[in-house]
Amino acid sequence: MTITKHTLAGVFLTLLICTSAALAENPMPTGAPNNGGFPNGSLDGWKERAFAGNSTYQLVSTSEGSVLKGSADGTASVLYKEETVNVGETPWLDWSWLVQNTLAPINEQTKQGDDFPARLYVVVRTGLLPWNTVAINYVWSSTSEEGSHWLSPYTEKSVMVAVNSGTEGLNEWQYERRNVVEDFKTFFNMDIDKIDGYAVMVDADNSKKSATSYFGNIEFSAR
């Protein structure tokens, strides 16, 4: 099986590649998120997998704690965490992100344009083998309509959901909330009570462009 960024859903649950990250000295360009920094202010437990060179991931200090800065320059790598989350009790996924630029003009619904300045994956295991999984990708879209969704051009086991789109809100913290139980029912007709991991990604390998984004708190809650 050829490993690509598009088969991440199955692969990242078995990878043991350690992340290299350092605390950056530069402050945030437009302040800090008001819902807190990146979980635990640490990359302990997070791992990185490269697909087309390495995107750069590092913690940046803010008044709300450390946030994660991700940059891609024609590259694609993912930062992921294997963690079982009981979404039967905590179905709401809350997060914040700040995107500095989009990758337009690209067609994100094709293999040639399947790049996003910011992604947040949520993964559910469906069998014993590493690739027996499905994933929802919450993305900041460069060109697709906000609220739209589509299957990954590489696999029907991965759905892309455009939570934000275009240039509106660039360089400002955006606060998002999704009910992952409802989303897996909507997009895969699955009834789930847990997820098996999640990941963040900044990728620009197909478009050969550059993108920089920041990720604040990521939290699962009951309501």
Mean pLDDT of the chain: 88
Q: Which range among 4-8, 45-49, 90-94 shows the weakest confidence by mean pLDDT?
A: 4-8
Please report the pLDDT score of residue 3 as a whole number. Answer: 45
Flag whether pLDDT at 29 surpasses 80: no
Token pair for 61: 């200090």
Backbone torsions φ then ψ of 185, nearest 5 degrees: -70, -45
Please report the pLDDT score of residue 122 as a whole number. Answer: 98
Q: With contact defined as beta carbons under 8 Å apart, do 173 and 33 qualify?
A: yes
Cα angle 13, 15, 18; round to 5: 125
Flag whether pLDDT at 165 surpasses 80: yes
- 3-class SS of residue 39: helix
Of residues 29 and 104, the one with the higher pLDDT is 104
Flag whether pLDDT at 13 surpasses 60: no
Q: Measured between alpha carbons, how far is 157 from 188 in angstroms, rounded to an integer? A: 8
10 Å Cβ neighbour count for 196?
Answer: 18
Flag whether pLDDT at 25 surpasses 50: no
DSSP 181: H
Please report the pLDDT score of residue 131 as a whole number. Answer: 81
Of residues 4 and 158, the one with the higher pLDDT is 158
Q: Comparing C-alpha atoms, which of 54, 21, 38 is closest to residue 173?
A: 38
Rounded average pLDDT over 26-48:
83
Helices of type H across 79-211: 180-188
- 3-class SS of residue 7: helix
Instruction: With residue 9 as reference, give the H or E element that holds it.
Output: helix 8-11
CATH numbers and ranges of domains, the chain: 5-221 (2.60.120.260)
Rounded average pLDDT over 145-172:
96
Please report the pLDDT score of residue 24 as a whole number. Answer: 38
Q: Measured between alpha carbons, how far is 210 from 82 in angstroms, rounded to an integer? A: 28
Share of the chain above pLDDT 70, in %: 87
Q: Measured between alpha carbons, how far is 161 from 119 in angstroms, rounded to an integer? A: 10
Per-state percent for the chain, helix, strand, coil, to nearest 5: 10, 45, 45
Query: Structure pTM?
Result: 0.87
Give exposure, 1-16, as e/b (b: 16+ Cβ within 10 Å). Answer: eeebbbbbbbbbbebe
Please report the pLDDT score of residue 8 as a whole number. Answer: 52
Greatest CA separation for the chain: 45
Please report the pLDDT score of residue 20 as a whole number. Answer: 33
Please report the pLDDT score of residue 14 as a whole number. Answer: 38
Q: Comparing C-alpha atoms, which of 126, 120, 93, 137 is closest to residue 192?
A: 126
Please report the pLDDT score of residue 31 as a whole number. Answer: 77
Share of the chain above pLDDT 90, in %: 78
Flag whether pLDDT at 6 surpasses 60: no
Flag whether pLDDT at 128 surpasses 90: no
Which residue has tokens 């014993």? Answer: 128
